[in-house]
Amino acid sequence: MNRTSATTSPNGSPTSGKDRSVLAQPLELPNGFVIPNRLAKAALSEGLGRRDFTPGTRIKNLYRRWAESGVGLSITGNVMVDRNAVGEPGNVVVEDHRHAEDLAEWARVAKSGGSKVWVQINHPGRQTPRTLTPHPVAPSAIAVPGAGGLFAEPRELSGRDIDDLIRRFATTAAVVTEAGFDGVQIHGAHGYLISQFLSPLSNQRTDAWGGTPQKRRRFVVEVFRAIRAEVGPRTPVAIKLNSADFQKGGFGEEESLEVVHALAEEGLDLLEVSGGTYTSAAMLGVDPSLKASTRRREAYFLFYAERVRAELPELPLMLTGGFRTAGGMVDAVESGAVDLVGLGRPLAVQPDYPAELLAGRADESVVSPRRSGIRLLDNLTELSYYSVQMWRMAKGKEPAPGRHAAINVTQYLLNNGLESLRSPRG
């Protein structure tokens, strides 16, 4: 795999003055797939699919805008594997080839600027508003804690159900890659179905799919194997995985590392590191358990990425969450800690930021947290702010970062309804 070596100053610290040329270098994955540079658009749940769950015009307009952003890799937001189980309003669902032409057009538009494009594949499990999925399923019949009735109590999956879900993940991967997308990313984080299987808090089964760490990770390993069998060795299959879910007694770093080792043995092409769940939204940067030292280093989960690098030096790593400055990104790549820098929220507000950064015309993103001190309000303000910016681009408009938060929240709730108020995104 083609990686850069760190360049250091006389005092031993990485020098970001060397420009950002390190960010412009291509990355070759172990299977030979080449990503043009080290900047990636991380998955953001766009909420722009049609009511029949097809991509439609608006999502294509958004990706046409992002196609010129300058990233080497673009990862779509949630594409669900079952139309009877969607996580948020506006999710795209791919179950079969019935909308192949629409998917092919989306792929062509998204790739028109030269970036590679992967589809994020997901199933929400229990984490779906009851107004969208009144009869959810999960590894165990345990409701989302602290949801206040927003989510219905799930039905425990049978063995046959689990086999069907594995098949669905594989079918979705086959359909989207046949449509022209370059690869897929399995969503294994943020409290969705795969994350539910991995956590001892949500998976309390005592059969072949739970009861021990090895059995809890069996589902994601089988999903990976089924996808690989469909798409072959040359098509990238990545995963977005929690470093931890930041809940007492839940999925932690040691178990997460075991999952990464298991997937690496299966031939995983890239790991994107994230963290948190609906009840502990570390992926939004609002979780109080994130140490001050982590915030100072910009990237929320850089320490965990460094642990993975030390144990699996050949596994390509992407890190998303918190990167805002050219210096922070250069340091992360030059140090060898990560191979790709994931950018999510900055691209919703500054769609040209990666190109400007690579050209030396921008040093720092204008994105900053919007905080009131009330977590529920903070989550809503954050989600609505970035969702509305994406919706503007979907209509052919430019983002409006200066708009008052109340206007964004109002538009968000009118579009999505109250059922989406607490749904994680991306």
Structure confidence at residue 1 (pLDDT): 56
Which residues are CB-neighbours of 158 under 8 A, at least 6 positions away? none
Structure confidence at residue 292 (pLDDT): 44
Domain membership of residue 399 (yes or no) is no
In b/e form, how buried is each residue of 248-274, taking b as 16+ CB within 10 angstroms?
eebbbbebbbebbbbbbeeebbbbbbb
Domain membership of residue 195 (yes or no) is yes
Backbone angles phi, psi at 302, to 5 degrees: -65, -35
> Residues 220-226: contacts with CB within 8 Å, 24+ apart?
220/186, 220/188, 220/194, 220/259, 220/263, 221/262, 221/263, 221/266, 222/166, 223/165, 223/166, 223/169, 223/170, 223/186, 223/194, 224/186, 224/263, 224/266, 224/268, 225/266, 226/166, 226/167, 226/169, 226/170
Domain membership of residue 278 (yes or no) is yes
Task: Give the length of the chain.
Answer: 426
Domain membership of residue 384 (yes or no) is no
Look up the domain containing 277 and give its range.
21-371
How far apart CA 101 and CA 347 sit, in angstroms, is 27
Domain membership of residue 229 (yes or no) is yes
Low-confidence ranges of the chain (pLDDT < 50): 3-16, 279-296, 418-426
H, E, C per residue of 333-397: HHCCCCCEEEECHHHHHCCCHHHHHHCCCCCECCCCCCCCCCHHHHHHHHHHHHHHHHHHHHCCC
Please, are residues 295 and 390 in contact by the beta-carbon 8 Å criterion?
A: no
Do strands 317-320 and 340-343 pair parallel, antiparallel, or not at all (unpaired)? parallel
Structure confidence at residue 294 (pLDDT): 43
How far apart CA 347 and CA 344 sit, in angstroms, is 6
Please, are residues 373 and 31 in contact by the beta-carbon 8 Å criterion?
A: no
Residue type (1 letter), 392: R
Which residues are CB-neighbours of 392 under 8 A, at least 6 positions away? 398, 399, 400
Domain membership of residue 83 (yes or no) is yes
Domain membership of residue 248 (yes or no) is yes
Nearest by Cα to 238 from 92, 162, 340, 140? 340
Structure confidence at residue 369 (pLDDT): 61
CATH, residue 256: 3.20.20.70
> How many domains, the chain?
1
Domain membership of residue 377 (yes or no) is no
Structure confidence at residue 19 (pLDDT): 76
